Structure 1
Amino acid sequence: MKENGSSLLAQAKWRIIDQTSLGPAFDAMQSFAIDDTLCTSVGSGESDSTMRAWVHHNTVVLGIQDTRLPYLQDGIDYLKEQGYRVIVRNSGGLAVVLDEGVLNVSLILPDAEKGIDINRGYDAMYKLIQRILAPYNKTIEAKEIVGSYCPGSYDLSINNRKFAGISQRRIRGGIAVQIYLCASGSGSQRANVIRQFYSAGLKNEETKFVYPVIVPDTMASLSELLQTDITVSSLMIPLLKTLKETGAQLSAIPLSSHEMQLFDYHLERMHSRNKKALPPF
């Protein structure tokens, strides 16, 4: 039984940063640097709790364990042949596919004095998605979907088919709870991309770390699961409405000049991390 995460959603104010329409030039490394920046400013009290929404085109985001594949270069070559950019993120988990049909949402919260239990962060995001999708009258479960990419205990699924995954990052007194939601397109096609990546990167070699065996049919988009046209835009409307219904004041506030300085610092760290983690091209 997952704990109710409503209390974390009920912030007095939510700062809104909507970056869903920045287009193909918006690089995923920038996104992770922005979330680290916001964690720092939310954690220090410089910023209110923040909801950031974002989209990246044709990008595969790897986890640190993925960079230890014995034939990593072959796996990356496959992804690039399919038209994907490849980056390594700074939060946990394994490889995921991002494209224009995938909505990413970050809830960035201050860590309370006693500390927010890691499951409460996951529960808050789970509760948010349940509310957004409530009109469709489908049971949304939070449990690991074996056969999916980046499997975890808070995979979100309908009828045992995963449409979303949640991760967390904590830095300098702030917490970023991040989710990717497959709104449209084919979930199984995305899963097959990651299946082929692991096939090329492992070549059946035994490794200490057990990489997931991807079964493409375990994944689907919300459009497929709900049998209706779900888009990034159509999810944003109930997302904002749900935050407002908690009683919060919503304000669209861009990064401040101080936050832009922090962003430059965190982006340089992302570039450095990627340079060390990925083989030279």
Structure 2
Amino acid sequence: MSKELELLRQREWRLIDQSSLGPMFDALQSFAADDTLCTSVGAGQSPAVARAWVHHQTIVLGIQDTKLPDLKDGLQLLKDAGFRVIVRNSGGLAVVLDEGVLNLSLIFPDTEKGIDIDRGYEAMLSLIKQMFKEFPVEIEAFEVVGSYCPGSYDLSIGGKKFAGISQRRLRNGVAVQIYLCINGSGAERAELIRRFYEAGKQGKATKWVFPDIKPETMASLSELLQKELTVQDVMLRFLTALNGFADHLFASSLQEQELEWYQAYLQRVTERNEKALLTE
């Protein structure tokens, strides 16, 4: 068994499904949840965790995005389009979250040998390939130039990006996170982020490099597989694939000690977010 599949193979997988909590479920709560679970898994208080979540009409910026010279104008454009804006507590650049985007986190203990970064990415890639194995397509991982939040583990079919993978490490826990564009128009999501950068930059030279977004480089899985998929369809595929790697898969929510950690992390990410979005 490859190292990636070894990582997926767990005696127990604990599932936290937050994919149907609705529009009141805030993305800052997700960041606090993953930090909490990294702490819990890293301390040996929880087995490996798989968490699924969906956020409505939210743009998640990276810290670098807050350095745009005309950030205020960019934020106003997103607000006018009906989106809430938050800043994530890890790297990366702007991404779109809406009811057609499913987010997954796999949270592992960072063992004594350590989980190198590529191994975490490859584990997620292996899981996604398993979820869509019956389709006659090749899912590839490479940086899709022209996409939003480009990175070496962009997932694409036929050169069009439908997902991006990131990682966060905290207190001996590793969270490997992916956003999957399930349905809707990938190009329309990309066009919104293109307009955000256009409004936030206004042609000015910047110390930071921001992506030159080409909306046609992005698509949803429904568009790429030519099959109308729902978040619920893909959740079932996720659970089926994960179950194949576990002796025991069980549903759960945050427990007593975790709830205390969660409140502290939520306060921290909320304060950091407010500070990052100060544009005056």
- TM bracket (short chain): over 0.9
Aligned AA (1:238): R
Q: Structure 2 length as normaliser, TM-score?
A: 0.98
Is 1:16–1:252's contact at 8 Å kept on the other side of the alignment?
A: yes
1:124-273 alignment runs, 5 A limit: 124-273=123-272
- Aligned-residue offset at 1:256: 0.6
Distance 2:273 2:246 in 1: 40
Matched, 1:88 2:87: yes
Q: Structure 1 length as normaliser, TM-score?
A: 0.98
> 1:154-179 CA distances to partner (integer Å, 9 max, x unpaired)?
00000000000000000000000000
More displaced stretch, 224-233 vs 244-253? 244-253
More displaced stretch, 239-248 vs 108-117? 239-248
> 1:122-173 CA distances to partner (integer Å, 9 max, x unpaired)?
0000000000011112100000000000000000000000000000000000
More displaced stretch, 246-255 vs 173-182? 246-255
Distance 2:247 2:74 in 1: 45
Is 1:55–1:99's contact at 8 Å kept on the other side of the alignment?
A: yes
- Aligned-residue offset at 1:257: 1.3
> 1:205-247 CA distances to partner (integer Å, 9 max, x unpaired)?
1111110000000000000001111111000111111111124
Name the counterpart of 2:34: 35
Aligned AA (2:238): L
Distance 1:211 1:83 in 2: 23
Aligned AA (1:140): I
Distance 1:4 1:173, change over 3 A: closer
Distance 1:103 1:67 in 2: 25
Gap regions ≥5 residues in structure 1? none
Distance 1:263 1:199 in 2: 36
Aligned AA (1:259): E
Secondary structure of 1:136's counterpart equals coil
Is 1:186–1:220's contact at 8 Å kept on the other side of the alignment?
A: yes
Distance 1:255 1:271 in 2: 19
What is the RMSD computed on CA atoms of the aligned residues? 1.0
- Identical aligned residues as a percent: 60
> 1:5-52 CA distances to partner (integer Å, 9 max, x unpaired)?
211100110000000000000000000000000000000000110000
Gap regions ≥5 residues in structure 2? none
Name the counterpart of 1:112: 111
More displaced stretch, 18-27 vs 267-276? 267-276
Is 1:58–1:84's contact at 8 Å kept on the other side of the alignment?
A: yes
Aligned AA (1:225): L
Distance 2:246 2:22 in 1: 32
Distance 1:249 1:278, change over 3 A: same
Is 1:167–1:179's contact at 8 Å kept on the other side of the alignment?
A: yes
- Aligned-residue offset at 1:4: 5.7
1:13-32 alignment runs, 5 A limit: 13-32=12-31
Distance 1:85 1:176 in 2: 24
Distance 2:227 2:250 in 1: 31
Distance 1:4 1:78 in 2: 44
Distance 1:60 1:188 in 2: 15
- Aligned-residue offset at 1:280: 5.6
Is 1:142–1:155's contact at 8 Å kept on the other side of the alignment?
A: yes
